[in-house]
């Protein structure tokens, strides 16, 4: 694992450190890769970067052994598709935003980097978008569903050293992936994506909005994120990667920052509590699988419920940054 000199200027904007915060790791306290970290907060752009820096190579074992482990709160279970045309609030709002800046036809190709179970592809089908579909997805639990949706899957994690295919994409979605990389690797990832876009292609990137310069001392859990983005830092990063910003805003609850309690319904709190309890290491694995299957079944709502929902912009009770870029 590599070291980083915290006195160096910010790799995004050149600013100097304003404070050092301890890294809060509750979800993966036994993961060696996340132990011993601290967070360096830039006094200029507000970027929070972990050190000693963990490269994507350092983190491979974490995602294989801990993140996708049977007792992980982030794990997936193999489940049949309820419908190819189901939608999610986040995916629907992302596609609606992308379609403001570009029209799509059957000759266009789309790539989702880290799509999970495939809600972006399901939502595209719901919207009648007949695209050539691609994805980088390493989780075997998701690959079968993606294939059923007609997605050509590259069964591996995306990283700054990923060998690119000959395909170039009309649209790429990088949603809640970039924060899992170190600052150095984040810059490499964005530069790699810039090369994957067609000349008229667009990128939609979304990350949590975490300004640790404002209230960063009060946090619940940082794991497994390695970089904590602000609007200023993300804008500078995509520009440095050779892309221009078409749109940039925060989405989700306007409660100032990530550190406040999210406004979640009573039903949502009960659902989350049950899921956390059933994913406890002492809980039999089959019970956790059943809980996840039930949750995913009832998560598939109609478009009318989705558009009417107060969480339409994001869907998980926290504020995020959403940016659309082009070459």
* Residue 4 reports pLDDT greater than 50: no
Per the model's pLDDT, the better-predicted residue between 171 and 5 turns out to be 171
* Residue 83 reports pLDDT greater than 90: no
* Residue 80 reports pLDDT greater than 90: no
Q: In the chain, where are the structural domains located?
A: 17-326
* Residue 159 reports pLDDT greater than 70: yes
Per the model's pLDDT, the better-predicted residue between 56 and 141 turns out to be 56
Residue 50: partners with Cβ closer than 8 Å, 6 or more residues away: 23, 37, 38, 39, 40, 182, 226, 227
Q: What percent of the chain has pLDDT over 90?
A: 61
Q: Token match 């994690």: residue?
A: 157
pLDDT tens, residue by residue, 239-271: 999 999 999 998 876 544 444 333 444 444 454
Least confidently predicted of 58-62, 89-93, 310-314: 310-314
Mean pLDDT, residues 57-84:
81
Tell the CATH topology of 17-326.
Rossmann fold (3.40.50)
Give the pLDDT band (50/70/90) at residue 281: very low
Mean pLDDT, residues 83-92:
78
Per the model's pLDDT, the better-predicted residue between 283 and 24 turns out to be 24
pLDDT value at residue 259: 41
pLDDT value at residue 214: 81
pLDDT tens, residue by residue, 282-301: 455 555 555 555 555 555 45
* Residue 274 reports pLDDT greater than 90: no
Q: How far is it, in rounded angstroms, from Cα 79 to Cα 71? A: 17
């Amino acid at each position: 694992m590599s070291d980083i000199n915290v006195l160096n200027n910010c790799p995004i904007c050149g600013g100097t450190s304003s404070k050092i915060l301890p890294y809060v790791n509750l979800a993966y306290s036994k993961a060696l890769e996340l132990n011993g970290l601290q967070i360096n907060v830039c006094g200029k752009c507000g970027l929070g970067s972990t050190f000693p820096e963990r490269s994507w190579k350092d983190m491979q074992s974490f995602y294989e052994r801990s993140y996708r482990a049977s007792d992980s709160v982030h794990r997936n279970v193999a489940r049949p598709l309820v419908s190819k045309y189901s939608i999610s609030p986040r995916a629907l709002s992302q596609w609606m935003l992308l379609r403001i800046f570009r029209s799509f036809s059957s000759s266009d190709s789309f790539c989702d980097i880290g799509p999970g179970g495939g809600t972006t592809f399901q939502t595209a089908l719901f919207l009648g978008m007949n695209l050539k579909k691609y994805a980088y997805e390493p989780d075997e639990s998701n690959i079968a569903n993606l294939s059923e949706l007609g997605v050509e899957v590259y069964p591996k994690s995306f990283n700054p050293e990923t060998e690119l295919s000959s395909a170039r994409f009309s649209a790429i979605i990088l949603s809640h992936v970039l924060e899992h990389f170190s600052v150095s690797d984040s810059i490499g990832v964005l530069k790699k994506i810039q090369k994957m876009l067609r000349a008229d292609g667009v990128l939609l990137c979304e990350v949590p909005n975490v300004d640790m310069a404002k209230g960063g001392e009060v946090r619940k859990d940082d794991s497994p994120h390695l970089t904590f983005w602000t609007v200023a830092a993300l804008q500078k990063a995509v520009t440095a990667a050779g892309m221009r910003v078409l749109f940039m805003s925060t989405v989700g609850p306007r409660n100032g920052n990530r550190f406040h309690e999210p406004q979640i319904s009573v039903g949502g709190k009960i659902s989350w509590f049950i899921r956390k309890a059933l994913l406890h290491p002492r809980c039999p694995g089959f019970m956790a699988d059943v809980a996840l299957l039930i949750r995913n079944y009832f998560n598939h709502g109609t478009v009318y419920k989705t558009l009417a929902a107060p969480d339409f912009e994001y869907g998980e009770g926290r504020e995020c940054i959403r940016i659309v870029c082009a070459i």
